[in-house]
Amino acid sequence: MHQMRVAVRRARSAIAIFRPALAPGALDPINDGLRALGRRLGPTRDWDVFAGETIPAIQHALPGDERLATLTTAVARRQRAHQKELADYLAGAEFRLLGINLAWFAAAQGWHAPPRGMAGDVADAAREDVAEDLATFADAVLQQRWKKLLSAGKRIETLDIPALHALRLRAKRARYAAEMFASLHDDKAAQRFINRLSLLQQRLGVLNDGAVASHLLLELGGAGGRHAYAAGLIAGFLAARAERIRPRIVRAFERVRRLDAYWT
């Protein structure tokens, strides 16, 4: 499920990047289908992380706590419900239509080859033109996403949780673009860029998982209902973890900021 969610995000990132180079509306049915799939995958992943990572970390520190065990049971029940909803969607017609649209688009488009019947030397020249155009296009995309990432990280020490979430999205978009166009540039420079963005994204993801967990607790009525005690434990754990991770986020961003724009 996690890999499917990543694949959906990568596909939508590719659509966003290449949309200006394709016929208007050519990718709309696919993008709509991917968006609908993402809406099902997101909540399922959130409950999986909450049940499989956040709560076990607290249980390790407080083994045998009955009130935490009660909350764990409620979380597992909600997790299974979302998994069932996702499974039903994947077995349905809407998901099958997405597969058909993807297959049709891949089979019907000819952007990867010169026109049929083109002579060999002319075909080679056409491929070279496409490669040059792609390199220019890729460098413009990378530069734009790099500038937006640096802008989002200004005064990073003072950024609140929503601003750090926006920074995480900028880092993710820059990384996806770098991975997509890595073969056009020096392998070592591109991989260094990708690795540092991945580390920044990972550390920002800790804060995001905490914010999501807080939202899920509210869904369960944990703030003032029968799970209030366990919700308090989790809130304290998440607050402490966020405090510890912030300096590491700043250091990771500074390492990203010092990178050279290898595509220029």
Above 80 in pLDDT, residue 17?
yes
Position 226 confidence tier, pLDDT thresholds 50, 70, 90 = confident
Token pair for 16: 């966003």
Rounded to 5°, angle at Cα 259 from 254 and 261: 140
Look over the chain and give the mean of its residue pLDDT values, rounded to a whole number: 88
Listed residue (170, 210, 212, 203) closest to 43, CA to CA: 212
Res 154 pLDDT > 90: yes
pTM of the predicted model as reported, rounded to 2 decimal places = 0.83
One-character DSSP codes across 1-34: -HHHHHHHHHHHHHHHHHGGGS-TTTTHHHHHHH
pLDDT at position 116, please? 47
User: Is there a contact between 149 and 196 (Cβ–Cβ < 8 Å)?
Assistant: no
User: Is pLDDT of 222 > 70?
Assistant: no
**pLDDT > 90 fraction of the chain, expressed in percent and rounded:** 62
- Kindly report, residue by residue over 125-148, the tens digit of the pLDDT: 444 544 568 889 999 999 999 999
Q: Among residues 102, 97, 77, 85, which one has the least CA distance to residue 39?
A: 85
Domains of the chain, first to last: 1-112 (no CATH), 122-264 (1.40.20.10)
How far is Cα 250 from Cα 171, in angstroms, rounded to an integer? 13
d(C-alpha 225, C-alpha 229), whole Å: 9
Residues near 152 by Cβ (< 8 Å), separated by ≥ 6? 163, 166, 167, 170
Residue 25: pLDDT band (50, 70, 90) is confident
Closest C-alpha among 57, 50, 43 to residue 1:
43
Rounded Cα gap, residues 248 and 154, in angstroms: 16
| Lookup: tokens for 88 | 């039903």
> For the residues 53-74, what does the mean pLDDT come to?
87
pLDDT at 117 exceeding the cut of 80: no
Label residue 1 by pLDDT band (50, 70, 90). confident
User: With pLDDT > 70 as the criterion, what percentage of the chain qualifies?
Assistant: 89
Closest CA to 162 of 208, 205, 198: 208
**CA dihedral angle for residue 169, residue 174, residue 176, residue 177, rounded to 10 degrees:** 140
Strands (E) across the chain are located at none
- Mean pLDDT of the region 206-229: 82
> What is the pLDDT, as a whole number, of residue 138?
92
Residue 118 pLDDT exceeds 60 = no
More confident residue, 78 or 222: 78
